Amino acid sequence: MNLRYSSLSLCFALFATCTLAAPIDSDIADRYLDLNSCMDQAMGKGWQRRYDIHMLTNRWGALEASQADVDSAPQAVRVTALRCRRETTPASQPSSMSQ
């Protein structure tokens, strides 16, 4: 009997964890969409092609500029990326890009 209650509570705990994780991930993905919109507004549409910035899919399923490309971009791009990150708050999330 004790084993049933333990198993049942474990199932509820796992279910609750899974259902709570999805909104958090989608919220982070939405913030990356906001980041990309901010960059488009500040740098103009197609800024990625002009500055040879590759966009990669991060672990939340959102497109994110390659950190290595941003680091080697002109100062205007780097400063704008930092400002947009600060305004849209994915900066509080670790970047999942290693390139």
Question: How many domains does the structure of the chain reveal?
Answer: 1
Residue 57 belongs to a domain: yes
Residue 28 belongs to a domain: yes
Tens-place pLDDT, residues 40-60 = 999 999 999 999 999 999 988
Q: How many residues does the chain have?
A: 99
Residue 6 belongs to a domain: no
Residue 97 belongs to a domain: no
**Structural domain range at position 75:** 23-92
SS3 at position 41: helix
Tens-place pLDDT, residues 66-86 = 999 999 999 999 999 999 999
Residue 13 belongs to a domain: no
Q: Which amino acid is at 29?
A: A
Whole-structure pTM value = 0.66
Residue 79 belongs to a domain: yes
Residue 81 belongs to a domain: yes
Tokens of 53: 């910035």
Q: Which amino acid is at 39?
A: M
SS3 at position 60: coil
Residue 38 belongs to a domain: yes
